[in-house]
Structure 1
Amino acid sequence: MIPQFFARICAASLLALAFTASPALAEDWAPEVFGRLQYDYTRSSGDESGFDLDRGELRTGRIGLSAKRGDTKLKAELALNNDGNAELTDAYIKQALGKSGWDVRAGQFKTQNSLDEQSSGRFLVFYERAAFTDAFGFDRRVGVQLENRGQRHSVYAGVFAENANDTAFAGGHAAAVRYVFTPVQTESRLLHFGVSLRWREAGDADFRYRQRPVSHEAGAILATPKFASDDLFGGVEAAWIDGPVWLAGEYGQLRANRTAGPDATYAGGYTEAGYVFGGRRTYDHNKFRRPEVARPVTAGGPGALILAARADWLDLSDRAADGGQLTTFTIAADWFATSHVHAGINLYRAEADLGSTSSGLAPAFAAYRLAGGMSEDVTGASLRIQFDF
């Protein structure tokens, strides 16, 4: 990890110095430095298992550089992980293919799956994404993608190896495609429909599927054994915005295939609704963007308050590999002092029917399952303070 850490720091530093040291080069490429800091505090507990979490963490610390010249765009970003080491998040070059309307992107970035997953964590009102996006392993990978983003129709299709922070070419592969239709898209109104597929093949180890009870700091409350050599995901998504109001929902299904023995089918989804007092939810490039604050505190205003609710579910129960079921209800309140500074709270109740194995579960849930426990409910609250630029 140490050599990789210094290599990434040096690469980012050299790129930044190249732009800052040469005014002509900086003017030619129009570089921008960006970053974020997120601090989370969570207090949650289980009804039966003895699970208890009372902890704060620097959830995300990131710094990056983007630059654009003509039809070419570069982006590189480093993040501080939970171990205190730097990891590469996005690092790619994007090039327009003449006047065809198509772009090609090469490097490391997320596969195009799920509206919730594509929307930046800077702009999410619910501090954890939908359970199925984590359980089904949506992630960043090294790959090449073709993109055609139109006013009403958009298409993304790519092929990928593995994550650059692991061994990028250790044998795992993936292919993903997403189509988005926006029949209504104005400054204050939106109607969005999308569908996506992803196939991936395991590299050195088979896939397992598991999920935490909401909090990033909690261990898994649902888990399957490691058994799948490859899987296929299909999902649909929809969203509606009308000024300060929005609705969104998704449904996804995954077919997990094993080399020998029966395959398994899992599913998940969510429905959410929210209202922005003193602003509105925004959308661009086929994902939710930064909320608009009508009167930020820096201009003598009250900022914007977002209230929202979400029902989220994940079904990992299948006779071939039973990981259990999870249903979560979350209420969110987020105050944006400005569009770049906000603080808020998520209150949640996660209700789990445990699967047939304790393997892969957090210690408290594993011990409870081994003692014969079959269901567990977790209640909690997460606070967040965030600044980005």
Structure 2
Amino acid sequence: MKTQVRSILALAVAAAIAPAAHAEIAIDVINGSEISLEGLMQADGNWYHNDRADLNAASPPGRDGADTEFDMRRSEVILKGKGGRFDWTLGFDGKANKWLDANIKWKLGTNYVMAGQYKQPNSLEELTSTRHNDFISKAMVTNLFGVARRTGVAYGDDKTNWGYNISYFGRELTRNLAQGPGFGGRVYWAPVLQPGNVFHLGLSAVDFDADQVGAPDSSRLRVRPDADLATTRLIDTGNIANADRQRTFGVEAAWIGGPFKVQSEYMRSRVSRTTSAPDFTGDSWYVYGVWNLTGETWGYKAGLPTTNLPDEPSSGMWQLGVRYDATDLNDGVIKGGEEKNVTLGVNWYYRSNFKFMLNYVKINSDKYLASAGREVSDDPSIVEARAQFYW
């Protein structure tokens, strides 16, 4: 696998020398619907400086416990149809072996009805296109409480500077992944909306049945330390038995001022229980800033910041970013732990189809260990790199 990934990285670098391709491949027009093909490939490398726990422990099979790890992160192919009253999407990730967006949208002016599998309306960072995430790993709050893709039915409206979405959902389309029926909604407003000058606010909520695959009526909250390839979680509630429902509320904000962007989210989640055992409540948040060194700004569409192409394709767009995110999974007798991370990043968008990322993550975590009879700190650091090709 490591040899394969190194080859992919080399090919990506070599391909960067070639002329830029189109953002998507047009296939045909059928009954007024423009059919196109999109794709995304990401190859990651992680270098761990462990403190106590082995962040690359030999699980799942194939991991050797070494301080470095290389792997494909995503290998996505997406077929889309746009035009007329209906848009549709069908996507699959060959790396994860799972369905992505697989839905049809009926457009009613700015309103729409959508059915199938789609991202649920409760996370600004999760709803943003993965190819344009500002850091290699999404923040802990997103990975913990972002419901992501589920099958369901949604109704929404996207005006110029405000909109909303309400959704009823079930399990993921791919079996043996996330499940538990529920509902959610998100509303956003941009009181300032001008080219290069945007202020965004949003509220969201989801409520769903706590039902893990293979462990019905239970919930477990845990998160990787801002490293997608890590196999160890430093904070983990363990299984919360007799769980009934999980309810998450979120607030979000973003500001764009020319080449600068600041973004933040806070989510608080409660797991209610069917017995006299107390409910569990945890929370998480982040704030980050990104600076386009080459002067580009961002766009804004349907309640989400959008990343522009480089002004000068031959030299590309350079970005610097810094993020602070924190999570608290301690509540009463459940000692899931606390974690606070600082991430420094540099991104290079080259031409229309390539992106290279480098992150440094410093972690500070504390978790109660029964064997020690006290809270124990674990403060590792990680260097992460990503090569990305998309069209």
Please say if residues 325 and 355 of structure 1, whose CA atoms lie closer than 8 Å, have aligned partners that are also in contact.
no
SS at match of 1:31: strand
Q: Give yes or no for the alignment of 1:353 onto 2:371.
A: no
Question: Displacement of 1:81 after TM fit?
Answer: 3.0
What is the match of residue 37 of structure 1? 41
Distance 1:24 1:161 in 2: 33
Distance 1:241 1:161, change over 3 A: same
What is the match of residue 239 of structure 2? 226
Distance 1:291 1:271 in 2: 21
What is the match of residue 111 of structure 1? 120
What is the match of residue 11 of structure 1? none
Distance 1:24 1:209, change over 3 A: closer
SS at match of 2:334: coil
Question: Displacement of 1:127 after TM fit?
Answer: 1.0
What is the match of residue 362 of structure 1? none
Question: Displacement of 1:48 after TM fit?
Answer: 2.8
Amino acid at match of 1:207: S
Distance 1:166 1:70, change over 3 A: same
Q: Which runs of structure 1 show a deviation greater than 3 angstroms over 4 or more consecutive aligned residues?
A: 49-53, 167-170, 369-373
Please say if residues 41 and 389 of structure 2, whose CA atoms lie closer than 8 Å, have aligned partners that are also in contact.
yes
Please say if residues 113 and 178 of structure 1, whose CA atoms lie closer than 8 Å, have aligned partners that are also in contact.
yes
Amino acid at match of 1:107: G
Q: How does 1:19-58 map to 2 (within 5 A)?
A: 25=30, 28-51=32-55, 53-58=67-72
Question: Displacement of 1:281 after TM fit?
Answer: 2.9
TM score, norm. by length of structure 2? 0.84
Amino acid at match of 1:289: T
Question: Displacement of 1:382 after TM fit?
Answer: 0.3
Please say if residues 160 and 302 of structure 2, whose CA atoms lie closer than 8 Å, have aligned partners that are also in contact.
no
What is the match of residue 73 of structure 2? 59
Give percent identity, aligned residues only.
25
RMSD: 2.1
What is the match of residue 218 of structure 2? 206
Q: How does 1:252-291 map to 2 (within 5 A)?
A: 252-260=267-275, 261-278=277-294, 279-291=296-308
What is the match of residue 379 of structure 2? 377
User: Match for 1:336 among 336, 340, 349?
Assistant: 349
Distance 2:85 2:159 in 1: 16
TM score, norm. by length of structure 1? 0.84
Amino acid at match of 1:192: H
Q: Give yes or no for the alignment of 1:132 onto 2:141.
A: yes
What is the match of residue 92 of structure 1? 103
Unaligned 5+ residue runs, structure 1?
1-18, 358-368
Distance 1:150 1:162 in 2: 29
What is the match of residue 322 of structure 1? 335
Q: Larger helix proportion, structure 1 or 2?
A: 1
Question: Displacement of 1:225 after TM fit?
Answer: 2.1
Q: How does 1:110-259 map to 2 (within 5 A)?
A: 110-166=119-175, 172-203=180-211, 204-218=216-230, 219-227=232-240, 228-259=243-274
Please say if residues 333 and 345 of structure 1, whose CA atoms lie closer than 8 Å, have aligned partners that are also in contact.
yes
Unaligned 5+ residue runs, structure 2?
1-25, 57-66
Aligned pairs, number: 347
Amino acid at match of 2:301: D
What is the match of residue 13 of structure 1? none
Distance 1:355 1:236 in 2: 29
Distance 2:54 2:282 in 1: 28
User: Match for 1:80 among 70, 74, 94?
Assistant: 94
Distance 2:372 2:229 in 1: 22
Question: Displacement of 1:186 after TM fit?
Answer: 2.1
Please say if residues 281 and 292 of structure 1, whose CA atoms lie closer than 8 Å, have aligned partners that are also in contact.
no
